[in-house]
Amino acid sequence: MAKGEKSWEKRLSGKSDPKAVAFVESLSYDRRLYAHDIAGSIAHARMLAGEGLLTSDEFDQIADALRRISEEITAGRFAFDPVHEDIHMAIEAALVERTGDVGRKLHTGRSRNDQVATDLRLWMREEIDRMCGRLGDLQRALVDLAGRYAEAIMPAYTHLQRAQPVTIGAYVLSFVEAFERDRGRLRDTRRRVNICPLGSGAVAGSTLPLDRHSTARELGFDDITHNSLDAVADRDFCAEFLFDAALIAAHLSRLAEDWIIYGSNEFGFLTIDDAYCTSSSMMPQKRNFDLLELIRGKTGSAYGALVAMLTLLKAQPSTYNRDLQEDKIHVFAAADVVAASLEMTAAIVGGTEFHVDRIAAGMSQGYLEATALAEYLVSKGVPFRTAHGVVGSLVAECEKTNQRLADLPLERLQAACAAVGADVYETLDPATVVRRYRTEGAAGPRQTTERLAFWRRELDAR
Ligand code: ARG
Q: List average pLDDT for each run of 10 residues in the chain, which is 462 residues long.
A: 59 84 96 98 98 98 98 98 94 98 98 98 98 98 98 98 97 98 98 98 98 98 98 98 98 98 97 92 89 98 98 98 98 98 98 98 95 97 97 97 96 97 95 97 98 98 94
What is the Å distance from ligand 1's center to 279 Cα? Answer: 47
Do 319 and 225 belong together in one domain? yes
- Give, for ligand 1, the residue of 21, 113, 123 to mutate: max count of ligand atoms closer than 8 Å to Cβ: 113
**Residue at 320 is within a domain:** yes
Do 339 and 194 belong together in one domain? yes
CB 40 within 8 A of CB 198: yes
Do 198 and 222 belong together in one domain? yes
Q: So what's the pLDDT on residue 15?
A: 80
* Among 7, 264, 280, 393, the one annotated catalytic: 280
Q: So what's the pLDDT on residue 284?
A: 86
Do 262 and 374 belong together in one domain? no
Average pLDDT, the chain: 96
Query: Domains in the chain: how many in total?
Result: 3
Q: So what's the pLDDT on residue 12?
A: 84
**Residue at 435 is within a domain:** no
Q: So what's the pLDDT on residue 373?
A: 97
Do 41 and 136 belong together in one domain? no
Do 315 and 171 belong together in one domain? yes
Last residue of a domain, one of 79, 108, 137: 108
Active site annotation includes 44: no
Say which DSSP state 257 is in.
Answer: H
User: Does the global pTM surpass 0.85?
Assistant: yes
Q: So what's the pLDDT on residue 2?
A: 47
Active site annotation includes 280: yes
Q: So what's the pLDDT on residue 5?
A: 55
Do 167 and 200 belong together in one domain? yes
What is the Å distance from ligand 1's center to 114 Cα? Answer: 9
**Residue at 385 is within a domain:** yes
Do 65 and 132 belong together in one domain? no
CATH of the domain at 193: 1.20.200.10
Do 51 and 186 belong together in one domain? no
| Those residues with Cβ within 8 angstroms of residue 382's Cβ, 6 or more apart along the chain or in another chain | 390, 417, 419
Domain that holds residue 393: 370-428
Do 232 and 334 belong together in one domain? yes
Do 83 and 225 belong together in one domain? no
Do 103 and 121 belong together in one domain? no
Given the CA of residue 324, which atom of ligand 1 is nearest to it? 12
Ligand 1 contacts (CB < 6 A) are 26, 30, 86, 112-113, 116, 322, 324-325
Residue by residue, DSSP assigns 259-322 as HHHHTSTTT--EEE-GGG-B--SS-TT--B-HHHHHHHHHHHHHHHHHHHHHHHHTTPPSS--G
Task: For 90-134, write each residue's pLDDT tens digit.
Answer: 999 999 999 999 999 999 999 999 999 999 999 999 999 999 999
Q: So what's the pLDDT on residue 16?
A: 80
CATH of the domain at 381: 1.10.40.30
Given the CA of residue 116, which atom of ligand 1 is nearest to it? 5
Q: So what's the pLDDT on residue 398?
A: 97
